[in-house]
Structure 1
Amino acid sequence: MFSGRNVSQTHIALSSTRIQATCALMGQATGTAATLCVKLGVLPRDIAQKHMAALQEQLLRDDVFIPLRPAQDPNDLATKASSIFGSSTTTGQASLLTDGMSRDIDDQVHHWQSDGLPAYVQLEWEKPVDLSAIEIKCDSNLQRNIMMRKDHKVNQNFGTEIPPELLKTVDFEVRIKGQWVKVGQVKNNITRLVKAHFQSQKTTAVRINMTETYGADHVKLFEVRCYS
């Protein structure tokens, strides 16, 4: 498998795929495919012919965007929750956090946004589930250009600082026998994809408590996932 500018393509296709960010994403896809080859004991050709869906699901979980391809991970227990709701809402609905689309696209809303801070999102299951991981995708303002410039230009389209919309502080709780237990906390977060891994717990609910951004007076989430 190859990644970057040495892939087989016409000179017309090279005009877009030669860009560094595109090359980087090809590298991520290739690395993920190689890992899947080792895990399944198959050759690269087999990934394309028999395991493409598995490769796409892992890439989507890792926050890669694949146009017109919503996530359908059968291991994601968040999609099996009986209810999901937020402490407050200004745009979107909390139920959209499990619709498989981790960003707004083509003027379609796929997010939940709070009315002020602090705020929380809660998931409930009718029967206890075993959980050891919670993953969320927050707002890094994908609508704004983030580019390397020699002049360090900063305006409404270009910036060099952490996006003010990005979630900075969050903690994760699970409900065990009627009591809320904190299982993870992230401070000074600088990534869109935030993960909490913890010892497996049998729980009937998850609560994601968001207390601070880098400047915005609200918080926006695009996806919530839960795994055993």
Structure 2
Amino acid sequence: MVVLATKIYVSGDARERTLDSLRSLVGNELGDLEVEYEVGIRHDDFPSVTVEGEDATVARNVLREAFGEIVPDLQPGESYVGTLESWDDNGFVLDAGQPVRIPADELGLGAGSPPQIRERFGLVQHLPMQFVYGDVEEGGDTPSRLADAERDRLYDWTRGDGRLNVNSATRAEVRATLNRAGHAQDYVTIERLGLLEQSVICPEDTDPPGLLASVGKYLPAELRCVVP
């Protein structure tokens, strides 16, 4: 079984639609591998995929690469993926199957308090983020930190033409909302950040705050802009 590092935190019909979307994504990832799989949701909203068959080991590795994995035991110095659970002036807290605090000094994303950094980089709640686990929780003195690859990814966002980040909606739902609101020409593509976290990549002549103001009323979600 692989526990995927992306949450299903919506309820009702939206939860079922999201599960259907995940089943399709898993099916696409596993392609022609000789496996059977079953998708479920744990008590903490992380989805699990049970895989059986001739290519089960390969399939599990494919899923780990595509989504990241929630593991029962974190090892100091190793990289993992957690979802952005909360933030305050002292840092971020990621959910990696257990709370992992990233102190403000270990974010590595420039000046400002953690809430200001979250606004500047358009970080929506539940966004999957890569981190390096420290040993503070084990009684050591090395705190957890954002991984270099995560810092590079977020800085790349600020060098583009702008983004609108969204949570609580699948990629298909975000695309349908944009098109329905008359903004089919106002985005280049929609990048999947997590199962329910998307990034609308804007062309040069689209203003992300203006797009947010226009489509925000159609999306029961958190929306954050990245403005270069």
The TM-score with structure 2 as length reference comes to: 0.29
1 or 2 for the larger relative contact order (CA 8 Å, sep ≥6)?
1
- Considering only CA atoms, is the larger Rg found in Structure 1 or Structure 2? 1
